[in-house]
């Protein structure tokens, strides 16, 4: 059987995800590429490559050379910047049958821009917290200030009063401001096949978060949330892995759509959501219909830091 080679772009610290693919024990070789020569993920890869920064004019040529030399079957981006880079160079990278694990540009354009995502959700009748630019709408505190384009909870601030708002309006002129909803935070791991059919949807309660990364989560196979994510995926035309975030209060409010593996996706994989096998089967041209997922409902993941010594 021909070995399928997957290149993870901007893999950096995603050690547990790469290990989950290794544990799938399929005929796959995993290649990690990152601009950091000390990226922790390199430890778990079959091979690794150091790339220039995405902003470097030599990055595309370097990536093309790696893909050709390694006979890469698929590119899997692990950051928003990596998604944008692949989308910007879709024509050059999508050759020789190589799969780019990103959706069409329409979904990328919407989901990577929090203002456009808010407008899409409202227009399509989904619940989402009120989001606005200062001075544009009436609002009440508390609020959250978020970069219009950002990830990993970087430069996210909580606002309790008008003084906070005035300060962050000046400090962060390109942020959007969102009504803060009190409720249970969820990350919903999902996988949509090449035709956009939902093959896996697993809601996880975010029980403890540190620096934007979930440290403790609990699977909660809430049927209402699953149905809403199915509808959202159809509306956006999602394909591949993604992690969708929201808050359950009196109803479920969508807040973010990450078009990639979220950091806690390994919980879903460990609990029975064998996405590495699904991706392998798609690349190998095999049917997914026979795959039955037995997800361990209410299972808990607790994460901890680990050290790698070179």
Task: Give the end of a domain, one of 144, 179, 214.
Answer: 179
Of 26 and 260, more confident: 260
- C-alpha Rg value of the chain to the nearest Å: 19
Over the stretch 273-301, which tens digit does the pLDDT of each residue have?
999 999 999 999 998 887 788 999 999 99
* Direct distance between the N- and C-terminal alpha carbons of the chain, in angstroms, rounded to an integer: 34
In a domain, 209, yes or no: yes
Whether residue 24 sits in one domain with residue 59: yes
Instruction: Tell me if 261 sits within 8 A of 82, measured CB to CB.
Output: no
- The number of domains in the chain is 3
Q: What is the pLDDT of residue 98?
A: 96
Over the stretch 118-173, which tens digit does the pLDDT of each residue have?
999 999 999 999 998 876 656 788 999 999 998 777 889 999 998 998 899 888 88
Q: What is the pLDDT of residue 292?
A: 80
Q: What is the pLDDT of residue 76?
A: 98
In a domain, 159, yes or no: yes
Whether residue 216 sits in one domain with residue 295: yes
Within the chain, residue ranges assigned H as helices are: 15-23, 59-70, 80-88, 90-93, 105-111, 114-123, 162-171, 223-236, 265-270, 275-283
Strand partners, 253: 247
Over the stretch 62-71, which tens digit does the pLDDT of each residue have?
999 999 999 9
Whether residue 193 sits in one domain with residue 156: no
Over the stretch 93-120, which tens digit does the pLDDT of each residue have?
999 899 999 999 999 999 999 999 999 9
Q: What is the pLDDT of residue 1?
A: 55
Considering the chain, what percentage of its residues have pLDDT values greater than 70? 98
Task: Give the end of a domain, one of 161, 179, 197.
Answer: 179
User: Which CATH number do you get for residue 216?
Assistant: 3.30.470.20
Whether residue 191 sits in one domain with residue 236: yes
Over the stretch 225-241, which tens digit does the pLDDT of each residue have?
999 999 999 999 999 99
- In the predicted model, is pLDDT for residue 254 greater than 90? yes
Whether residue 135 sits in one domain with residue 89: no
Over the stretch 168-177, which tens digit does the pLDDT of each residue have?
988 888 899 9
In a domain, 247, yes or no: yes
Q: What is the pLDDT of residue 290?
A: 73
User: Which residue segment(s) compose the domain that 41 sits in?
Assistant: 4-102
Q: What is the pLDDT of residue 247?
A: 98
Q: What is the pLDDT of residue 251?
A: 96
Whether residue 75 sits in one domain with residue 57: yes
In a domain, 205, yes or no: yes
Q: What is the pLDDT of residue 138?
A: 65
In a domain, 293, yes or no: yes
Whether residue 78 sits in one domain with residue 44: yes
In a domain, 29, yes or no: yes
In angstroms, the CA 7 to CA 14 distance is 13
Summarize the confidence of residues 45-58 as an average pLDDT. Answer: 97
Whether residue 154 sits in one domain with residue 95: no
In a domain, 115, yes or no: no
In angstroms, the CA 58 to CA 51 distance is 9
Whether residue 291 sits in one domain with residue 253: yes
Whether residue 162 sits in one domain with residue 81: no
In angstroms, the CA 204 to CA 301 distance is 10
* DSSP assignments along 76-120, one per residue: EE-SHHHHHHHHHTHHHHS-TT-EE-S--HHHHHHHTSHHHHHHH
């Amino acid at each position: 059987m021909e070995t399928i080679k997957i290149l993870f772009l901007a893999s950096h610290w995603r050690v547990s995800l790469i290990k989950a693919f290794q544990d799938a024990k399929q005929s796959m070789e995993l290649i990690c590429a990152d601009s950091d020569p000390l990226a922790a993920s390199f430890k778990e890869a079959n091979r690794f490559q150091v790339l220039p920064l995405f902003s470097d004019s030599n990055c595309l040529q370097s990536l093309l050379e790696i893909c050709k030399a390694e006979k890469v079957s698929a590119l899997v981006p692990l950051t928003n910047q990596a998604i944008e880079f692949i989308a910007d160079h879709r024509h050059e990278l999508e050759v020789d049958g190589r799969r780019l694990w990103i959706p069409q540009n329409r979904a990328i354009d919407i989901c990577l821009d929090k203002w456009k995502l808010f407008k899409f959700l409202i227009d399509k009748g989904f619940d989402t917290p009120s989001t606005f630019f200062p001075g544009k709408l009436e609002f009440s505190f508390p609020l959250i200030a978020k970069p219009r384009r950002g990830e990993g909870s970087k430069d996210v601030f909580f606002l309790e009063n008008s003084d906070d708002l005035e300060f962050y309006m000046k400090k962060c002129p390109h942020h959007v401001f969102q009504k803060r909803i009190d409720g249970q935070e969820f990350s919903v791991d999902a996988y949509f096949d090449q035709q956009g059919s939902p093959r896996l949807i697993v809601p996880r309660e975010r029980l403890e978060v540190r620096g934007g990364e979930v440290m403790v989560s609990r699977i909660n196979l809430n049927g209402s949330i699953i149905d809403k994510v199915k509808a959202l995926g159809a509306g956006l035309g999602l394909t591949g892995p993604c992690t969708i975030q929201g808050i359950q209060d009196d109803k479920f409010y969508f807040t973010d759509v990450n078009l990639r593996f979220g950091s806690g996706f390994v919980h879903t994989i460990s609990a029975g959501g064998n996405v590495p096998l699904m991706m392998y089967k798609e690349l190998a041209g095999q049917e997914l219909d026979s795959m039955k997922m037995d997800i361990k409902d209410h299972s808990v993941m607790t994460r901890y830091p680990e050290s790698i010594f070179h």
